[in-house]
């Protein structure tokens, strides 16, 4: 598939285009929960406000958003039906989970945390004002959220109600309750607490990828053997794009997406490849240039904190032409391992340097495998 310049531009969501909605959720009037910024960057996520700006609506099999609020402000306990992954890129957030928020984990800058479905969770900014969480939610339709019954009760008393189709009614802002009260969301019954997922602190700790304990591979892609094509990839959720057979992600349950962290040293690039799935990159430091098509005729720069969606099957080179290391979070659609296909020039160069990929798609020394299985195109 060929990418045009206008397509390349419309898939870039620059960080100054992220648009906060402070009335996205049922608890937005409750003491301690104000002001709370919610951002929908790719897909609507779980917003409950018709005023939420969604930067890019194209379905990806997942939703990318963000949350940010001043120090001390809380997002109250709620349940998700699809995977919810938090990527803390600035500051610190304290997460609580369990039927009454009885467990706690402090997420530091660089942490990526996956909270299981069907479990009450909430979080408080315990770092500087503006501490930032990117979020990735599984599925196109996330199904919304269920609020803790105590929060639902307090919100109703503050004049906020929720309909069964997940939209807010704000009585203090001109909203009206429907005559048919069955259209309102019921309170989650406390008798169901016993059936919710039980996750201990030890269990949750297994679902955190911290910046300092990520395991990066410097041979995660075939083209990494070529001078000027250095990159390092650390698996976080699922097996992702890596072609290193030793790659072992810390989090492996189904999310409907995979996450890897990628570093490209200054002046290096990932050579032209394509995959069958949509890919989103969230730039966490430095910048990269994405160069599209086999002709390499279209390019766009993804800056620090920007989000970029790469269409499936597009040929793309990801180049760091800056003087500093670039790091980004790479999210690809689907739970399965992805199979990058490098352009023939890359495959040939790697082969001349003694490397190819084996029949499982992993990087190997070419002299160790049977000649007939070399995956060079004619
Ligand atoms: Fe949430």
Digits of tens for pLDDT over the chain (378 positions)?
Answer: 899 999 999 999 999 999 998 887 899 889 999 998 999 999 999 888 888 899 999 999 999 999 999 999 999 999 999 999 999 999 999 999 999 999 999 999 999 999 999 999 999 999 999 999 999 999 999 999 999 999 999 999 999 999 988 888 999 889 999 999 899 999 999 999 999 999 999 999 999 999 999 999 999 999 999 999 999 999 999 999 999 999 999 999 999 999 999 999 999 999 999 999 999 999 999 999 999 999 999 999 999 999 999 999 999 999 999 999 999 999 999 999 999 999 999 999 999 999 999 999 999 999 998 865 555 554
Distance CA 315, CA 294 (A): 6
Domains 5-209 and 215-373 share a fold: yes
Q: How far is the CA of 89 from the centre of ligand 1 (A)?
A: 17
Q: How far is the CA of 120 from the centre of ligand 1 (A)?
A: 9
Q: How far is the CA of 171 from the centre of ligand 1 (A)?
A: 24
Q: How far is the CA of 106 from the centre of ligand 1 (A)?
A: 16
Where along the chain do its domains lie? 5-209, 215-373
CATH 2.60.120.10 fits domain 215-373 = yes
Distance CA 216, CA 209 (A): 12
Q: How far is the CA of 208 from the centre of ligand 1 (A)?
A: 16
Q: How far is the CA of 47 from the centre of ligand 1 (A)?
A: 10
Edge-to-edge strand ranges of the sheet holding 279-285: 12-13, 307-310, 279-285, 326-333, 257-264, 232-237
Contact 70, 127 (CB under 8 A): no
**How far apart, in Å, do the first and last CA atoms of the chain sit?**
21
Distance CA 97, CA 85 (A): 14
- Rounded to two decimals, the pTM is 0.95
Topology (CATH level 3) of domain 5-209 = Jelly Rolls (2.60.120)
Q: How far is the CA of 108 from the centre of ligand 1 (A)?
A: 18
Q: How far is the CA of 267 from the centre of ligand 1 (A)?
A: 38
């Amino acid at each position: 598939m060929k990418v045009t310049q206008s397509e390349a531009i419309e898939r870039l969501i620059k960080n100054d285009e992220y648009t906060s909605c402070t009335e996205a959720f049922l608890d937005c009037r409750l003491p301690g929960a104000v002001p709370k910024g919610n951002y929908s960057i790719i897909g609507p996520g779980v917003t409950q406000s018709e005023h939420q700006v969604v930067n890019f609506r194209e379905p990806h099999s997942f939703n990318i958003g963000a949350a940010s609020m001043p120090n001390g402000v809380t997002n109250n306990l709620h349940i998700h039906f699809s995977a919810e992954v938090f990527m803390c890129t600035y500051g610190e957030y304290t997460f609580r989970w369990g039927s009454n928020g009885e467990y706690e984990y402090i997420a530091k800058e660089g942490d990526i945390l996956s909270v299981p479905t069907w479990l009450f969770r909430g979080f408080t900014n315990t770092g500087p004002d503006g501490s930032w969480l990117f979020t990735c939610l599984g599925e196109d339709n996330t199904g919304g959220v269920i609020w803790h019954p105590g929060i639902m009760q307090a919100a109703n008393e503050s004049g906020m109600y929720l309909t069964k189709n997940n939209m807010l009614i704000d009585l203090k802002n001109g909203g009206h309750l429907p005559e048919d009260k069955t259209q309102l969301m019921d309170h989650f019954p406390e008798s169901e607490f016993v059936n919710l997922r039980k996750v201990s602190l030890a269990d949750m700790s297994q679902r955190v990828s911290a910046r300092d304990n990520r395991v990066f591979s410097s041979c995660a892609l075939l083209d990494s053997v070529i001078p000027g094509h250095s990159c390092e990839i650390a698996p976080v959720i699922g097996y992702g794009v890596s072609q290193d057979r030793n790659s072992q992600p810390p989090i492996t349950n189904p999310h409907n997406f995979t996450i890897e962290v990628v570093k490209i040293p200054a002046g290096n690039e990932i050579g032209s490849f394509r995959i069958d799935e949509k890919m989103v990159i969230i730039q966490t430091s430095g910048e990269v240039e994405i160069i599209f098509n086999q002709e390499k005729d279209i390019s766009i720069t993804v800056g620090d904190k920007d989000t970029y969606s790469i269409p499936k099957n597009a040929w793309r080179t990801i180049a760091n032409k800056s003087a500093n290391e670039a790091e980004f979070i790479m999210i690809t659609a689907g739970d399965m391992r992805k199979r990058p296909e490098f352009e023939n020039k890359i495959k040939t160069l790697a082969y001349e340097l003694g490397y190819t990929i084996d029949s499982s798609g992993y990087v190997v020394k070419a002299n160790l495998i049977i000649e007939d299985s070399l995956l060079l195109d004619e």
